[in-house]
Amino acid sequence: MDVVRKEPHHGWIEVITGSMFSGKSEELIRRLRRAQIARQKVQIFKPPVDDRFSEDHIVSHSDMRIPSQTVKNSDELLENVGDETEVVGIDEGQFFDANLPAACNRLADRGKRVIVAGLDQDYLGRPFEPMPQLLAIAEYITKTLAICVVCGDPANHTQRLVASSDRVLVGATGLYEARCRHCFDPELAGAEKV
């Protein structure tokens, strides 16, 4: 009996995750630029909380940039993705709501290549929702590492340099630095000694 194959579908989810300064935005921009060079229809989104450098661009710490659209939540993101769009890029995934994984699933099911960059841990080293849920459903995961500014080892942590219990405290140089597991010190960020 002949095997009846379904038409291939093209949708899937890629996640780029790691600490601050690990090159997530650079890698996201690199992938999106390559898609644009290949004349694929690309749409790029970010949440409003990250307006440190620009409201209408994704900007890396090394000043690579690409135009983006700001959406306030994952529902608004879904509403803004056009039918002809082939690639959807999303930066700062950790600042989206809990529906982001479901929204990415919907887009991938509609045949879109969805690429999400975001922090995997917060300033205390706790998994940063909704990134863990997104990692669970993604087809491809890239973990990026920075360089520990204290010892030079691969850095998996974002060290907050000021004491604050706010999970979201937006800023970069002077507020945060990359550190390895040995040099990471949550107490410096105001965590209770355990």
Catalytic (active-site) positions: 92
Told to check if 121 binds ligand ADP by CB under 6 A, we report: no
Told to check if 62 binds ligand ADP by CB under 6 A, we report: yes
Told to check if 118 binds ligand ADP by CB under 6 A, we report: no
User: Interaction with ligand ADP in 19-38: which residues (CB under 6 A)?
Assistant: 20-26
Could you give the string, one character per residue 131-150, with x where binding to ligand ADP holds by CB under 6 A and - elsewhere?
Answer: ---------------xx-x-
| Single-letter amino acid code for the residue at 36 | Q
Computed over its alpha carbons, how large is the radius of gyration of the chain?
Answer: 18
Told to check if 153 binds Zn ion by CB under 5 A, we report: yes
Told to check if 181 binds Zn ion by CB under 5 A, we report: no
Told to check if 150 binds Zn ion by CB under 5 A, we report: yes
Q: Residue numbers of the site for ligand ADP (CB under 6 A)?
A: 18, 20-26, 60-62, 146-147, 149, 178
Q: Residue numbers of the site for Zn ion (CB under 5 A)?
A: 148, 150-151, 153, 180, 183
